[in-house]
Amino acid sequence: MSSIHFLPPANYTVAVELGFRDSRSKRCWSAGAGFSKRWCPRMRSIRAETAAETFGSRKGESLGPNGECDCDIPGRSAPALSNVGNSTNIAWHECPIGKVERQILLNQKGCVIWITGLSGSGKSTLACALSRELYALGYLSYVLDGDNIRHGLNKDLCFKAEDRAENIRRIGEVAKLFADAGVICIASLISPYRRDRDACRAMLPESIFIEVYMDISLEVCESRDAKGLYKLAREGKIKGFTGVDDTYEPPLNCEIVIAPTDGECPPPGTMAKQVISYLHENGFLKA
């Protein structure tokens, strides 16, 4: 897939130079509203004054007229405290640079691509292929792989139903933060229960949660068995394994379905292009 080159005109309304080069070693830029400035190939960074001039103040009662954080405003009353879950006396801290500004900086819209399916269906393969293709096009993504997350953040969880629900909830909250940062977040995990996936969808605006269902049969997945997990499950050495002695609930109304064509599973590049086409068509690959 060929790269898209972000090359500025002679006069442009922009404040930022992105921190990567395209395939021709050209600097990549992101256009944003604010003020006109003559392009200079030696421009290396954006000064704080320029950012303030470009983005100005954000709406919100916790910000000052010039976009100061609430803690910097003399005479401002203390923010209202609230209780959330088991956390008490906490307050939301608003910052002057928000999601819109970050998306302008990256020239893309933050979203969550949630890849679900049986073990061996190709979720991680698609996630890596998609991340690679987006990188080649000049877009920033990050993969949250289910096994990888269990090496750290979720290493205290097992595979009981309640722990699986907490595993999904935590990953959903992390994915939400990535999307708010303007990053294309690719979550790749079995997530077998429909209610847990729907709970993650409910955390986000409907339009930025993109559910991708790997519609690959159990027979195909078991024949692959790259990790040898199906064999262990059939031998009774793994309990509660999805597809063997625990259920998988397919999505009822997902955005994208990856399915075999003429009995053949699509190659990674083809699967990635299917997802990228959706991102293009729905405006995620522009600020």
Q: CB–CB of 184/107 below 8 Å?
A: no
Instruction: Please report, in tens digits, the pLDDT of each residue of the chain (287 residues total).
Output: 444 444 444 433 333 444 444 444 444 444 444 333 333 333 334 433 444 444 444 444 445 556 556 555 666 667 788 898 889 889 888 888 999 999 999 999 999 999 999 999 999 999 999 999 999 999 999 999 999 999 999 999 998 889 999 999 999 999 999 999 999 999 999 999 999 999 999 999 879 999 999 999 999 999 999 899 999 999 999 999 999 999 999 999 999 999 998 888 999 999 999 999 999 999 999 98
Q: CB–CB of 90/83 below 8 Å?
A: yes
Nearest-angstrom CA–CA distance, 51 and 37: 13
How many Å separate Cα 230 from the centre of its chain? 29
Q: CB–CB of 192/242 below 8 Å?
A: yes
pLDDT of amino acid 42: 36
Pick the catalytic residue from 45, 191, 207, 217: 191
Task: Tell me what the pLDDT averaged over the chain comes to.
Answer: 81
Nearest-angstrom CA–CA distance, 147 and 167: 11
Neighbours of 197 (CB within 10 A): 23
Nearest-angstrom CA–CA distance, 29 and 78: 39
Q: CB–CB of 184/131 below 8 Å?
A: no
Q: How many CA atoms lie within 13 A of 110 on its CB side?
A: 21
User: Scanning the structure block, which residue is given the tokens 């599973």?
Assistant: 265
- State whether residue 43 is helix, strand or coil: coil
Q: CB–CB of 140/282 below 8 Å?
A: no
Nearest-angstrom CA–CA distance, 158 and 83: 29
pLDDT of amino acid 66: 60
pLDDT digits (tens, 9 = 90+) for 229-270: 999 999 999 999 999 999 999 999 999 999 998 888 999 999
- Per DSSP, 20 falls in state E
Nearest-angstrom CA–CA distance, 119 and 252: 19
Contacts of 35 (CB under 8 A, 6+ apart): 13, 15, 53, 54
**Angle between helices 194-203 and 161-180 in degrees, nearest 10:** 30
Neighbours of 238 (CB within 10 A): 16
pTM here is 0.74
pLDDT digits (tens, 9 = 90+) for 21-51: 444 444 444 444 433 333 333 333 443 344 4
Contacts of 280 (CB under 8 A, 6+ apart): none
Angle at 74 between CA 72 and CA 78, to 5 degrees: 80
Is 191 an annotated catalytic residue? yes
Can you give the length of the chain in residues? 287
**Angle between helices 268-281 and 123-137 in degrees, nearest 10:** 60
